Every structure is written in structure tokens, then in C-alpha cells.
Structure 1
Amino acid sequence: MTDFAEKHLVYCWIERGDAVLFIRRSAKGFLGGRWELPGGTVEPGEPQEAAAVREAAEETGLSVRVVGERSRHTWMDVEGRPLRIHARVYRVADDGHTEVVLNPDEHDECVWLPPARAVELDLVDHVRESLTQT
């Protein structure tokens, strides 16, 4: 039996009206050019909801609060390492008018789109799956 390390990721589903915030990963990094939700790795000992709030601030400059969980996803590492990834997508709220300020080391573009239109983006797989979950 193979033992796998576990990695936990969190993402933020930020809505304004009928649109959700999507951000594009910088071309030079992992999954470069693909679209995702704001989020990232949960630090050791960090509560997942706190990690979601922190990641939203780091990646978008937005101050958010968690209002619920939208979906959960699990997959094996895409590079073949003995690593199981667990991701949670949280519904979060912001003030509704603060401008998004991206961290240019990680993301190079953002867009607000209704989920039905977001299917046209080159989304990472777990974000695409979360479009139809509530």
C-alpha cells in the first residue's frame, strides 16, 4: 500500500451580482495562462476558512468573509508525485465595490463573468467542476 502526502487548497467564489471573479495565472508559473478562482495553499495549523480569507487578500487585495462552502474536490498530483490534493471552494462576500488588485507574480488578468459564460475560459479542472455545484 502506498502512502500519500496530503495537501489542502482553498478557493474563493466571489460574486458581484450574477458575476464571479476569475483570475488568470501568469504565463511563467505552474498552470500558466489558465484561469482559476482566488485561492491557494492552507498553511500548517491554519484553519481553512482563515486561509481562504488570507489568500483572497494576497491575490486580489479584497477583504472577504466566508459565508459558506460551495464544493469539495480531491485528485492525485498532476505531476505524478505521491500527493493527494484536497480543495474546498468557499462562497465569500466582499464589500461589492473595491477594485481588484492582482499580485503580478501570480496572476496577470481578472474578469467578472456569470458562471455560464466562464465555461469559455481555459479553467483549471476543479474550478470548471465547481461551476455547476451549489
Structure 2
Amino acid sequence: MGTAEKHLVYCWIERDGAVLFLRRTEGTFHGGRWELPGGTVEPGEPMETAAVREVAEETGLTIRITGERSRHSWMDVTGRDLRVHARIYVAADGAGEVVLNPGEHQEYAWLTPAKAAGLDLLPHVRETLTP
């Protein structure tokens, strides 16, 4: 049997030159590290649909995908025979208030990519700071 595949989608949501970053809740996978809003694509779910759904679940924002920023792939960090694929989409948002899901994220910040570079970012997020 071949390597299993997992697909993740994230959104680069920009407001006034700043991008929305989320900090994972302590005690969760990658707890305390920063990432973009996003998550796992469900079986059979279109990628862009998953991105819109994940952003709504994690931030309460209603977004619209406007393009693709980057793609990344890596082997599972826990050692499973699993290849992870991530797509980062560019999204326009409806300018609502961010409401976090405390089960996943404990903090958010609107930061310029240069400021975000100083955070403890997940590697695929760091790679997308400069397209």
C-alpha cells in the first residue's frame, strides 16, 4: 500500500496591509505556534469550499477565494507514512469581527508579513510570507 495523502487548505486574509494569523491553543497539536486560518479538506470536498468552511469555523469570517498564493508538501512530522499537501489561498473577507474557536486557537493578530516573521510560525506558513 502506498503513502496516504492528507490535504490542508489555508487562507491569506489581508486587511489594510496586515494579514490574519492565529495562535494554536496550548495543549493541541502544534500548541502555541502561529498559522493562517485553515484546516483539513474532508473526503470529496472541493479545496476552495473547504477553505471557506474552515475560515468560518475558526474565525467567524465569511470570505471569498480570489486566488492561490502557494502550495507545499511534506512528510508527516509524527513519522506516519503520510504525505501532507497544503494550499494557501488568497481571500477577500467581509470585514467582520474575528471570533475564535477556543478549542483550536487562543489568540489572533493582524500583522504585516515582516512582523509575522518574528513569530513561531509553522514552516509552510513561514515559506509563504514571501511569495
- TM bucket by the smaller chain? over 0.9
Runs of 4+ in 1 over 6 A off after TM superposition: none
**Residue 28 of structure 1, CA deviation:** 1.0
The 1-side partners of 2:38 and 2:93 are apart by 15
Indicate the residue corresponding to 1:74 in structure 2.
73
The 1-side partners of 2:23 and 2:124 are apart by 15
Cα deviation code 1:60-93 (max 9, x no counterpart)? 0000010000000000000110000000000000
Q: Within 5 A, what are the aligned runs for 1:15-94?
A: 15-94=14-93
Indicate the residue corresponding to 1:110 in structure 2.
108
Secondary structure, aligned partner of 2:71: strand
The 1-side partners of 2:53 and 2:98 are apart by 15
Cα deviation code 1:106-131 (max 9, x no counterpart)? 00000000001100110000000010
Percent of residue pairs identical: 69
Secondary structure, aligned partner of 2:110: strand
TM-score by length of 2: 0.98
- Structural RMSD (CA): 0.8
Which consecutive residues of structure 1, in runs of 5 or more, have no partner in the other structure? none
Secondary structure, aligned partner of 2:12: strand
Indicate the residue corresponding to 1:125 in structure 2.
123
Q: Which residue type is aligned with residue 62 of structure 1?
A: L
Q: Which residue type is aligned with residue 131 of structure 1?
A: L
